[in-house]
């Protein structure tokens, strides 16, 4: 309700100024705000991850303590059982090393392999062997000798080396924090002292089970703990400048080092086990590992052996699985920016949690031990000895309780020494906390690699909590000059949003411009820092932007540009409630350019392409903006030019952006690019109808910013529209993104980043054999198919072949219009199908070379692509066989006959495609698609009915259908925001013959047609256009043909002559009449209404524009010299008030853009004036009042001066009314003299109001707002350097292609020849597949078949057998395996997408506007205004 009232108040305000207050409000134009549901979801995810970290760490640590207790020599287990539990301990140490070995081996084999430096590898492997030796001794030798509480506490001492290195390297950013590692070292040493004292008291007080040799084990425990602490030697070293060269070198071949070191660690673990237990203790009997029942074993023995096996395997599984789970969830907790609550807190309190849980179990379960005496702790511990021979108690609980009784609690003399053990635990725990204090302030970027979070990939399963804390990377970096600094700050980047337009509709243009203005609002002013650290520009490249008037031959913008201008004005009004402020019109060698400053100060450019001057279509537009943004702008940054005196020193030299003036607005981001590398320069490729939100773009930026080898990233494309064709595409796009693109991302690299929404890295596009190769003009048939029919896929192929990776982000959503008509859909896929196949085959052909260059592409991935390509090639045959099966199910036709019937329609349609025209082919395909849909629907229900009749779905067909349905349902559930796509699944199913059979035939047979096929127009190349024709009559009489045409210009001239006759005292001189006659011939001052004549920009009021021109000329015709001092006096009056003010930095005419002399020097094209006059509507009386009000409010929006702001708005509005109300109409455009007088009056009124309120500091902002309100669109000129660049670029790469007739005929012949070869190949392969299936059917299932037992749903056998052809079963299984692989990849991708989304939401921009203080920054004045020339050196 509040939103309705708010819109109503805005509409009422507009209604006071105009009779047309109504406006469009595109979806998504409302201000962004954080969604509460996402915040709640973020906290739920963080809470779940924290609970998982804590619970998995407790289970991992507890299970290791259980194994060490069960393997203790003092346990009540038999020697055979104890040696089995020792073996489980060995396995628990081996498992993490084995996992790291497999992962590293995979990367070395299928990713990249770098030969290691033998010296560095030797050092690292030596350290790893020492670590493995310490871990093995501590776990296999020492811990079984101690009680469970000592084992829990003693592990805290493994942080001693980290504390020593932190003290030695002085890694603290603040000197006082060195107290933390010092305290840690002291606490650990105190803990070891208390450990020795505790065991001395135990031996002295004759605690049962304590021998004199325990002192040796205490010493060995200290030594082993020191060796274990070597595990994390890299962490303090990498945080200092010591050994940086070796660590940097190590990162290049770390995977190979892990392969070798993992093997060595396993060998050391086995060696310690064998040496201690076989050679020293001699307690291993190899035959005892045989737990198979023997003939002389009784039932109790067999049951006890089974119990021992179960306990050992279950505890081993819990320890291994939850150690890995704890490590993984710990990584996730850091990546979702919940370091304190979900990582540091759970991991730090794992030890206390295990202790509390153990004590609770001890106190609550001790009474349940059958036969235990609970009168006192001493009697209780004594009674446990008798329970060792009974099986009435839980083994694990009994052994843990007995281990606790080995402490001083069971002493006959005193129990106070138990406090020594408690103090030991406290000291060890506090030592760990103080050593890892930096974890609590751990800084994490939005998206982090695991290698940037943790120093080493390997985790220590025996000490999982300590391993996570000590392995967390210290990000406190000290430079060589001993000054601390942080190196993980996010680097700034520049994003160029480049949209290509080709005959878009008004609504489609509205989508892309709304998206760009949303991004402008999200980014804010360019001078402000942003949490996402980026700057951007928007560029829209309009193909076929001009039209030619038939009669005069003059060039004007066409209806698409007219719509685009109307849309940008409408969107500007929606976002700001005012007209565009700064508009520039520039003639260029390729056509024209319109330049806008968006509401927050970011730049928007329209590049209008004339197809007679530059090549049209999407690929050439991409080459155009890539060379312009990466080539030219990168060049001028590396070679700064001095700013020379220009012929038109107007607003082109400077642009005022809310308190700061930037030199040359088109080079604003160029100046920032001086400090930004090509790696951080991004190109966002868009279509003219793409709709996206800022979050979608930022998620893609995160991928490129974090992973240097990613050359491109794409998002999830959602087709929009209505109708059956759109429904089919919705599910098709969903399945393609859910399964296919995720599989490509996980197993290798995405093959196609669609041009409608993809982010490219500048350095990747500038790489060898990418952009230069992309400019190749197609001359051969295969090049026409690969290069021009799917340019985005070819560009990605070039990137992949050069070693770059292409990624997919499922959370980056973009919406684009999809074909709604059957014909448009078929024509679109006619381009995509052959292009996809050609690029994939090109990539597979260069597979060996690509595998060497690209670390993301392995031979296994090449095999995966070969399999998918083979499946797609066999698609028509597979669909035909599926249709044959449908005939069998529905009409009960035998197999061979059904195959013959099924292949007749495809063959018939193939002949139709060869003989008929494309339109007829599509009509026949549509009819056949409907018939096939009915058949597929009948088949669907027939299969269900057959399963009901059979009484089971466990048949090949039934299993396949059910599993497919379940898999798609689960996939849809895992995409909750897209779950509704599952509704269109049935539509997709019944359209399979059309999409995979008829469409394939149509695409192949029409491969020789290389036209675009979509958004085509039937209009003539030259369109007739009339301008403000008041009377247009053709008179034919006998042999006389007479044309009578009266235009607005001749009508105005006639009226002025009549006025001169009626009133001789008027000041319209003959000279003025002549000037107007000349202007009527040279310029197009008036345009027809847009609704009646869409070929040219409309003009709201011809009379008022003519009046404005006459007023302007009458002012300058009397004495042109006198008019200039008036402007200078206006300037001087302002500059007297504030000499540093940058409001009036423009020489010449402030409002019209040029002086009269400059207009003679710079002749304008015919299209410029109508475009300019469309933007001059902002200077009408009605629009000006609204613009002024909004400009004042916007300039003072964060100054906490609402009262002053509203008073200014009211008083300045009254000033406008007083100056203009009785002089001009609400739709009249003000003349230059009226604008000058109005500006002077407004400045004086604003000065008085601010002085009265003692707010003089705001005067500069208010004057700037007034200036922006009154400034007119500027007609500018390119610099000579840029003009020369465009001329050379057109000449070298983008000149219009003019093919002679002979060449066209030759290309057509080649294309038809290529078409015939492709059709023949497809036909032969599919025919062979169908023929093989046919003969297997003809031979009969009794001869060649695979028998599958029929099973009822409850799992019982029916005694019957189903006979399946081996070929069909093989293909079915292969397809099923492919789907399962894609499904698993989707699960993996979903998890990491969730992590990325949660991390983004936790660092999302705060949409609450912050207060700003006036920043008196550097103001660059105009070189003409003060006589100084500002060079790049001065800047």
> How far is the C-alpha of 545 from the C-alpha of 502, rounded, in Å?
9
1071: pLDDT strictly greater than 60: no
Interhelix angle 395-404/350-365, nearest 10 degrees = 100
Q: How many CB atoms lie within 10 A of CB 976?
A: 8
Q: Using CB atoms within 10 Å of the CB of residue 206, give its burial: 0 to 12 exposed, 13 to 18 middle, 19+ buried.
A: exposed
Handedness of CA 247, 251, 253, 254 (dihedral sign): positive
Question: Residue 939: pLDDT above 90?
Answer: no
Position 40 pLDDT exceeds 90: no
What band does 1342 get if pLDDT is binned at 50, 70 and 90? low
CA separation for the pair 262, 316 (Å, rounded): 20
Q: What pLDDT score was predicted for residue 409?
A: 67
Q: Tell me the whole-structure pTM to 2 decimals.
A: 0.83
Is-contact 1185 1213, C-beta < 8 A? Answer: yes
Count of beta carbons in the 10 Å neighbourhood of residue 12: 10
pLDDT average, residue stretch 1199-1223 = 80
Q: Strand 805-817 and strand 1040-1047: pairing?
A: unpaired
Given a contact cutoff of 8 angstroms between Cβ atoms, the answer to whether 228 and 158 are in contact is yes
* Dihedral, 61, 63, 67, 68 alpha carbons, nearest 10: 20
> CB neighbours (10 Å) of residue 220?
16
Measured distance CA(1272)–CA(582) in Å, rounded: 8
pLDDT at 1110: 41
Range with the poorest average pLDDT among 67-76, 957-966, 1272-1281, 1286-1295: 957-966
Band of the pLDDT at 530, cuts 50, 70, 90? confident
pLDDT at 775 over 60: yes
Residue 1307 · residue 1009 · CB < 8 Å: no
Question: What residues form DSSP beta bridges with 593?
Answer: 586, 607
Q: How confident is the model at residue 486 (pLDDT cuts 50, 70, 90)?
A: very low
Q: Out of 78-87, 151-160, 484-493, 1322-1331, which region has the weakest mean confidence (pLDDT)? A: 484-493
96: pLDDT confidence band, cut at 50, 70 and 90? very high
What are 707's two structure tokens? 């992973």
Would you place residue 377 in the very low, low, confident or very high pLDDT band (cuts 50, 70, 90)? Answer: low
The region of weakest confidence among 498-502, 854-858, 1152-1156 is: 1152-1156
Find out whether 952 and 1350 touch, Cβ atoms under 8 Å: yes
The arithmetic mean of pLDDT across residues 192-203, rounded, is 84
Q: What is d(CA 199, CA 204) in angstroms, rounded to the nearest whole number?
A: 8
Radius of gyration of the chain (CA): 40
Distance CA 913, CA 524 (A): 55
Q: Is residue 1111 scored above 60 in pLDDT?
A: no
State the burial class of residue 113 (Cβ atoms within 10 Å of its Cβ: 0-12, 13-18, 19+). middle
Each residue of 1356-1378: pLDDT tens digit?
A: 666 666 666 666 677 777 888 88
H or E segment to which residue 697 belongs: helix 694-706
Q: How far apart are CA 1333 and CA 1335, in angstroms?
A: 6
* Cα–Cα distance, 161 to 1290 (Å, whole number): 66
Contacts of 294 (CB under 8 A, 6+ apart): none
654-656 and 477-478 as β-strands: parallel, antiparallel, unpaired? Answer: unpaired
Q: What would the pLDDT profile of 220-237 be if each residue is shown by its tens digit? A: 999 999 999 998 888 888
Task: Give the residue ranges of DSSP H helices in 71-175.
Answer: 79-110, 118-136, 148-154, 160-169
Q: Give the other-Cβ count within 10 Å of 773's Cβ.
A: 16
Give the contacts of 1197 (CB within 8 A, at least 6 positions apart): 1409
Rounded to whole angstroms, the Cα distance separating 784 from 781 reads 5
Q: Which two tokens stand for residue 149?
A: 């509480």
Query: What stretches of 405-453 show up as alpha helix (H) in DSSP?
Result: 418-435, 450-453
Residue that wins the pLDDT comparison between 915 and 1111 = 915
Confidence of residue 1191 (pLDDT cuts 50, 70, 90): confident
Closest CA to 816 of 837, 840, 792: 792
- 3-class secondary-structure state, position 444: coil
Instruction: Give the pLDDT confidence score for residue 662 in this predicted structure.
Output: 37
DSSP letter string, 199-218 = HHHHHHTT-TT--TTHHHHH
> Residue 812: what are its φ and ψ, rounded to 5°?
-90, 95
Q: Measure the CA–CA gap between 419 and 426, rounded to whole angstroms.
A: 10
What mean pLDDT is predicted for residues 1190-1194? 83
DSSP 539: E
| Four-residue CA torsion sign, 62, 65, 69, 71 | positive
Across the chain, mean pLDDT equals 79
Q: Is the pLDDT of residue 1100 over 60?
A: no
Handedness of CA 436, 438, 444, 450 (dihedral sign): negative
Give me the pLDDT at residue 1031, please.
55
pLDDT at 1075 over 60: no
When mean pLDDT is compared across 1058-1072, 1246-1260, 1267-1281, the lowest value belongs to 1058-1072
Q: Which long-range contacts (CB under 8 A, 24 or more apart) does 1154-1161 make?
A: 1154/648, 1154/650, 1154/1275, 1156/1116, 1156/1120, 1158/647, 1158/648, 1161/647
**From residue 414, how far is each of 199, 424, 1182 by CA, in Å?**
14, 18, 97
CA 78 – CA 81 distance, rounded (Å) = 5
Name, in order, each residue with C-beta under 8 angstroms of 1268's C-beta and a sequence gap of 6 or more. 581, 582, 656, 1191
Going edge to edge, which strands form the sheet with 805-817?
691-692, 805-817, 710-720, 757-761, 681-687, 493-501, 534-542, 603-609, 591-597, 583-588, 1274-1277
Q: ∠ CA(1326), CA(1329), CA(1335), 5° rounding?
A: 135
Residue in 789, 1300, 814 with CA at minimum distance from that of residue 1009:
789
Q: Alpha carbon 754 to chain centroid distance?
A: 13
Q: What angle do CA 993, 996, 997 make, to 5 degrees?
A: 65
Instruction: Give 962-1014 as a DSSP string.
Output: HHHHHHHHHHHHTSGGGGGGGGGHHHHHHTHHIIIIIHHHHHHHTTT--S--S
Q: Which residues contact 839 (CB under 8 A, 6 or more apart)?
A: 751, 752, 786, 790, 793, 794, 796, 797
Q: What is the DSSP letter of 1229?
A: B
| Confidence at residue 753, expressed as pLDDT on a 0 to 100 scale | 93
Other beta carbons within 10 Å of 295: 4
Secondary structure (DSSP) of 794-850: HHHHHHHHTT-EEEEEEEEEEEEE---SHHHHHHHHHHHHHHHHHHHHHHHHTHHHH
Q: Which of 683, 689, 988, 978 is nearest to 810 (CA)?
A: 978
Query: Is the model's pLDDT at 1074 over the cut of 80?
Result: no
Token digits of residue 9: 């108040």
Contacts of 1041 (CB under 8 A, 6+ apart): 1034, 1035
Is residue 1107 very low, low, confident or very high in pLDDT (cuts 50, 70, 90)? very low
């Amino acid at each position: 309700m509040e939103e309705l009232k708010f819109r109503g108040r805005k509409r009422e305000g507009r209604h006071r100024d105009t009779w047309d207050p109504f406006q469009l409000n595109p979806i998504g134009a409302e201000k962004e705000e954080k969604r509460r549901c996402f915040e709640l979801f973020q906290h739920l995810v963080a809470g779940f991850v924290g609970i998982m970290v804590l619970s998995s760490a407790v289970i991992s640590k507890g299970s290791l303590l259980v194994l060490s207790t069960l393997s203790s020599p003092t346990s009540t287990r038999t020697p055979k059982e104890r040696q089995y539990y020792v073996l489980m301990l060995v396995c628990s140490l081996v498992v993490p090393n084995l996992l790291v070995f497999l992962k590293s081996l995979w990367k070395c084999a299928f990713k990249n392999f770098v030969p290691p430096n033998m010296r560095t590898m030797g050092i690292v492997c030596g350290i790893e062997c020492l670590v493995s030796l310490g871990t093995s001794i501590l776990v296999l030798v020492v811990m079984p000798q101690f009680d469970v509480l000592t084992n829990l506490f003693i592990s805290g001492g493994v942080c001693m080396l980290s504390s020593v290195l932190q003290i030695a390297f002085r890694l603290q950013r603040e000197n006082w924090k060195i107290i933390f590692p010092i305290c840690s070292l002291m606490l650990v040493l105190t803990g070891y002292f208390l450990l020795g004292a505790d065991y001395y008291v135990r031996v002295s007080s004759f605690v049962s089970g304590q021998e004199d040799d325990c002192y040796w084990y205490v010493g060995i425990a200290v030594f082993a703990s020191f060796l274990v602490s070597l595990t994390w030697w890299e962490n303090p070293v990498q945080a200092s400048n010591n050994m940086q060269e070796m660590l940097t070198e190590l990162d290049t071949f770390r995977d190979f080092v892990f392969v070798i070191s993992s093997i060595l660690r396993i060998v050391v673990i086995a060696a310690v086990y064998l040496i201690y237990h076989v050679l020293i203790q001699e307690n291993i009997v190899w035959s005892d590992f045989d737990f198979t029942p023997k003939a002389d074993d009784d039932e109790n023995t067999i049951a006890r052996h089974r119990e021992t096996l179960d306990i050992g395997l279950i505890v081993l599984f819990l320890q291994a699985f939850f150690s890995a789970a704890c490590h993984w969830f710990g990584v996730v907790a850091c990546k979702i920016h919940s370091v304190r609550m979900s990582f540091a807190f759970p991991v730090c309190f794992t030890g206390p949690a295990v202790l509390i849980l153990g004590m609770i179990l001890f106190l609550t379960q001790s009474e349940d031990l059958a036969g235990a005496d609970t009168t006192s702790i001493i009697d209780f511990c004594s009674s446990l000895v008798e329970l060792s021979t009974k099986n009435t108690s839980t083994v694990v609980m009994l052994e843990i309780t007995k281990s606790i009784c080995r402490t001083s609690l069971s002493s006959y003399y005193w129990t106070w020494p138990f406090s020594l053990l408690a103090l030991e635990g406290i000291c060890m725990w506090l030592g760990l906390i103080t050593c890892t204090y930096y974890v609590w302030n751990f800084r994490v970027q939005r998206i982090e690699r695991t290698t940037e979070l943790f120093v080493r990939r390997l985790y220590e399963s025996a000490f999982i909590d300590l391993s996570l804390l000590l392995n967390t990377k210290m990000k406190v970096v000290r430079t060589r000059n001993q000054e601390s600094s942080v190196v993980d700050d996010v680097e700034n980047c520049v994003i160029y949003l480049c949209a290509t337009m080709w005959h878009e509709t008004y609504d489609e243009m509205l989508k892309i411009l709304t998206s760009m203005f949303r991004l402008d609002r999200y980014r804010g002013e360019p001078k402000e820092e942003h949490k996402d650290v980026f700057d951007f520009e928007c560029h829209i490249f309009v193909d076929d932007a001009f039209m030619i008037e038939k009669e005069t031959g003059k060039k004007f913008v066409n209806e698409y540009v007219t719509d685009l201008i109307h849309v940008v004005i409408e969107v500007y009004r929606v976002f700001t409630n005012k007209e565009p402020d700064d508009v520039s019109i520039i003639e260029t060698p390729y056509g024209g350019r319109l330049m806008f400053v968006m509401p927050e100060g970011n730049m928007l450019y329209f590049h209008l392409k004339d197809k007679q001057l530059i090549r049209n279509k999407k690929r050439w537009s991409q080459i155009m903006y890539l060379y312009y943004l990466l080539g030219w702008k990168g060049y001028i940054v590396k070679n700064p030019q001095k700013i020379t005196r220009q012929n038109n020193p107007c607003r082109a030299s400077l642009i005022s952006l809310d308190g700061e003036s930037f030199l040359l607005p088109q080079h604003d981001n160029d100046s920032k690019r001086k400090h930004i590398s090509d790696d951080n320069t991004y190109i966002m490729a868009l279509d003219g109808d793409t709709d996206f939100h800022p979050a979608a773009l930022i998620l893609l930026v995160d991928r490129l910013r974090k992973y240097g080898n990613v050359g491109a990233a794409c998002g999830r494309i959602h087709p929009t529209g209505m109708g059956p064709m759109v429904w089919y595409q919705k599910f098709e796009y969903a399945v393609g993104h859910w399964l296919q693109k995720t599989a490509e991302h996980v197993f290798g690299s995405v093959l196609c980043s669609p041009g409608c929404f993809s982010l490219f890295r500048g350095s990747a596009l500038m790489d060898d054999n990418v952009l230069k190769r992309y400019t190749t003009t197609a001359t051969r048939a295969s090049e026409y198919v690969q290069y021009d029919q799917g340019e985005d896929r070819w560009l990605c192929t070039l990137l992949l072949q050069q070693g770059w990776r292409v990624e997919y982000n499922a959370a980056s959503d973009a919406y684009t219009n999809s074909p709604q008509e059957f014909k448009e859909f078929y024509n679109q896929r006619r381009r995509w199908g052959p292009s996809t196949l050609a690029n994939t085959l090109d990539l597979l052909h260069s597979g060996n070379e690509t595998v060497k260059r690209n670390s993301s592409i392995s031979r296994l991935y090449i095999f995966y692509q070969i399999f998918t390509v083979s499946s797609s090639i066999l698609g028509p045959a597979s669909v035909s066989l599926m249709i044959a099966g449908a005939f069998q199910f529905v009409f009960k036709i035998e197999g061979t006959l059904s195959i013959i019937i099924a292949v007749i329609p495809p063959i018939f349609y193939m002949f139709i495609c060869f003989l008929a025209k494309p339109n007829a082919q599509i009509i026949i395909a549509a009819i056949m698609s409907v018939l096939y849909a009915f058949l597929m629907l009948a088949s669907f229900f027939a299969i269900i009915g057959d399963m009901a009749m059979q009484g089971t779905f466990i048949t090949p067909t039934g299993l396949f259908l059910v599993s497919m349905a379940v898999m798609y349902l689960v996939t849809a559930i895992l995409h909750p925001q897209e779950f509704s796509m599952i509704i269109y699944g049935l539509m997709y199913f019944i359209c399979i013959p059309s999409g995979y059979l008829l469409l394939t035939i149509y695409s192949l047979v029409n491969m020789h047609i290389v036209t675009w096929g979509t958004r085509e127009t039937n209009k003539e190349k030259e369109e007739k256009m009339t301008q403000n024709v008041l009377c247009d009559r053709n008179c034919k009489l006998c042999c006389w043909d007479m044309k009578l045409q009266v235009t607005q210009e001749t009508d105005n001239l006639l009226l002025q002559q009549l006025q001169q006759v009626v009133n001789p005292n008027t000041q319209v001189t003959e000279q003025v009449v002549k000037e107007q006659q000349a202007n009527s011939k040279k310029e197009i001052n008036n345009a027809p209404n847009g609704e009646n004549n869409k070929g040219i920009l409309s003009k709201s009021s011809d009379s008022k524009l003519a009046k404005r021109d006459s007023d302007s000329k009458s002012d300058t015709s009397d004495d042109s010299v006198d008019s200039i001092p008036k402007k200078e006096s206006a300037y001087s009056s302002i500059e007297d008030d504030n000499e540093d003010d940058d409001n009036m930095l423009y020489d010449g005419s402030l409002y019209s853009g040029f002086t009269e002399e400059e207009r003679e020097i710079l002749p304008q094209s015919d299209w410029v004036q109508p475009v300019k006059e469309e933007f001059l509507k902002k200077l009408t009386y009605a629009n000006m009042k609204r613009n002024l009000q909004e400009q004042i409010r916007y300039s003072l929006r964060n100054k906490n001066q609402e009262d002053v702001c509203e008073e200014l708005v009211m008083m300045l509005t009254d000033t406008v009314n007083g100056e203009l109300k009785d002089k001009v109409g609400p739709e009249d455009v003000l003349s230059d003299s009226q604008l000058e007088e109005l500006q002077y009056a407004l400045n004086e009124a604003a000065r008085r109001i601010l002085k009265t309120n003692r707010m003089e500091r705001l005067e500069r902002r208010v004057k700037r707002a007034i200036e922006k309100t009154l400034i007119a669109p500027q007609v500018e000129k390119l610099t000579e350097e840029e003009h020369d660049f465009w001329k050379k670029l057109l000449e070298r790469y983008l000149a219009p292609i003019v093919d002679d007739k002979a060449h066209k005929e030759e290309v057509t012949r080649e294309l038809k020849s290529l078409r015939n070869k492709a059709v023949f190949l497809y036909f032969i392969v599919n025919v062979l597949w169908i023929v093989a299936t046919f003969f297997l059917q003809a031979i009969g299932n009794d001869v060649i078949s695979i028998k599958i037992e029929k099973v009822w749903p409850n799992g019982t056998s029916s005694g019957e057998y189903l006979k399946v052809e081996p070929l069909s079963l093989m293909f079915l299984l292969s397809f099923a395996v492919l789907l399962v692989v894609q499904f698993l990849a989707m699960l993996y991708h979903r998890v990491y997408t969730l992590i990325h989304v949660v991390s983004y939401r936790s660092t999302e921009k705060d949409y609450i506007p912050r207060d700003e203080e006036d920043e008196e920054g550097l103001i660059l004045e105009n070189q003409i205004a003060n006589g100084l020339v500002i060079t790049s050196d001065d800047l």
